Amino acid sequence: MVKMRSNFFNENGIFRPGKVSITKFSEGVFLESEDSITAEEPLEIMICSGKSKKCSRFAVTMRTPGEDEYLAAGLLYTEGIINSLSDFDTQKFRKIESNILEVWLSRISFELNGDRFFPSYSSCGLCGKTSIDQVFIKGARIQHSFNSVTPNLILSLPGKMHSSQKMFTETGGIHGAALFNEDGTMIATSEDVGRHNAVDKVIGKSLLEGNLEKCHILQISGRSGFEIVQKAAIAGIPVVSSVSAPSSLAVETAETFGITLICFVRENRFNIYTHKNRVSRI
């Protein structure tokens, strides 16, 4: 394993990048140097019942350490395990060591008779999900009353998100996600080595802080895959904007659930793939 030096959590509990020794080749010359890299470590999420006092392993996800409670809350919400803040027990979270997190719930729709385990990886979210039928089962909360956004507002979002990406500035190797209201005010932002983790973190943060209903636009730093649009649908977010390309299933999911999917948001251009009526022509 590569030894990282000077890893630490800042006062907000965010994991800062570590330094590694590298050999750099530039303009025909080899140089011994250092580079900042993004941390990627496993997090085991346990679901615990406040009534039975039983716990069951729910998932292991590869993530950038920090904001683990937000990540767990967002994941449980977008997976349909919880529906609101009232589903949490008085003690919401308990950290067991650095990479094990217990989530305590007051209401659980299944018996904790064993592990409901699935692996989750930083590269793909919940790999293997190939049908939007699973989103139908969980339901979607799209805010159909949402009015419209201007082209200028959409074009401003990547820059606003990027200005809050401290780890990206240091490493260049991390994804970002941010939630905005319809006026373009940023409500929450997070970074993680995984696109889907960054999305779970901002959704979880907004849920725990009681701001999720104010969130109208999800901006992400990478491509728009199915798992990203799925999470937006379940969280009721009507607009998804990304700086890169969508997948075919992402477009299909957005079309089905009434999400305006906007991609390739760069400089003075973007492509609208679904529900273009939400973007004003003025």
Q: Where are the beta strands (DSSP E) in the chain?
A: 18-26, 29-37, 41-49, 55-63, 88-96, 100-105, 118-120, 175-180, 186-192, 217-220, 239-242, 260-266, 269-272
From 124, 127, 215, 263, active-site residue: 124
Is 55 tagged catalytic?
A: no
170 labeled binding residue:
no
Pairing type for strands 186-192 and 175-180 reads antiparallel
* Alpha carbon distance 199, 67 (integer Å): 12
265 labeled binding residue:
yes
* Alpha carbon distance 216, 160 (integer Å): 15
Q: Copy the structure tokens of residue 167.
A: 């780890």
**Phi, psi for residue 26 in degrees, rounded to 5:** -145, 125
269 labeled binding residue:
yes
Orientation of helix 226-235 relative to helix 68-78, angle to 10°: 80
* Alpha carbon distance 107, 185 (integer Å): 34
Radius of gyration of the chain (CA): 19
CA distances from 105 to 76, 179, 234, 259 (A): 11, 26, 19, 30
10 labeled binding residue:
no
Binding residues: 264-269
Residues catalogued as catalytic = 124
